[in-house]
């Protein structure tokens, strides 16, 4: 177990269920309604995004050794962390093995950030990630995701 605390954002799992009637209604009106619903969603979730960003900004850069002694796993972790940072627009890549994937891959900027991140991982790592695999990762930690990707790479 690392000395770093995992990221916390308790409301992510229910964020879409908490949308008000107006916001849900606007989702059905093309273009203008979508823009209004998106603005409402952004306003409703901004405090969660800020909380996650603050946790990352306050976190010291973890040492490479946090990913274990395997150089292949360390290199993979660096790649995954870089992709997540780039695609999800987090302030840095100071992620740790215990961070929940559902927070790291939360599409808080644009609606398909998580999908783009998975596609980028497929391209960079030369693996095929199924929807089932991505859904399984969303219930686990970054360490579990890294181990799964490492296994996929080794089976190629």
CA distances (Å), origin 96, targets 19, 41, 131: 31, 28, 24
How far apart are alpha carbons 39 and 42 in whole angstroms? 5
Quick one: pLDDT at residue 19? Answer: 78
pLDDT at 7 over 90: yes
Entry pTM: 0.84
Please determine, for residue 1, whether its predicted confidence score (pLDDT) is greater than 60: no
Lowest model confidence (mean pLDDT) among 14-28, 31-45, 123-137, 139-153 = 14-28
Question: What tokens does 20 get?
Answer: 């008000």
Residue 40, CB-side half-sphere exposure with 13 Å CA sphere:
18
Per residue in 82-111, pLDDT (tens digit) is: 999 999 999 999 999 999 999 999 877 666
Domains and CATH numbers, the chain: 10-58 (no CATH), 63-156 (1.10.1200)
Are the beta carbons of 72 and 149 closer than 8 angstroms? no
Given this model, what pLDDT does residue 25 score? 85
CB atoms within 10 A of CB 29: 12
Which of 3-12, 52-61, 93-102, 134-143 is the least confident region?
A: 3-12
CB contact at 8 A, 95 and 141: no
Output the 3-class SS for 56-75: HHHCCCCCHHHHCCCHHHHH
Among residues 68, 61, 48, which one has the least CA distance to residue 92? 61
Is 121 in a helix, a strand, or coil? helix
Place of tokens 């972790």: 77
């Amino acid at each position: 177990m690392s000395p770093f605390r995992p990221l916390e954002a308790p409301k992510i799992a229910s964020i879409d269920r908490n949308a008000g009637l107006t916001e849900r209604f606007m989702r059905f009106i093309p273009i203008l309604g979508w823009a209004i619903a998106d603005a409402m969603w952004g306003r409703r979730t901004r405090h969660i995004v800020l909380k996650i960003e603050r946790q990352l900004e306050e976190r010291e850069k973890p040492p490479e050794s946090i990913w274990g002694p395997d150089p292949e796993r360390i290199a993979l972790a660096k790649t995954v962390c870089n992709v997540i940072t780039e695609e999800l627009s987090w302030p840095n890549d100071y992620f740790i093995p215990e961070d929940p994937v559902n927070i790291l891959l939360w599409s808080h900027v644009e609606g398909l950030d998580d999908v783009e991140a998975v596609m980028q991982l497929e391209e960079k790592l030369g693996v095929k990630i199924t929807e089932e695999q991505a859904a399984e990762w969303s219930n686990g930690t970054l360490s579990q995701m890294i181990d799964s990707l490492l296994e996929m790479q080794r089976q190629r």
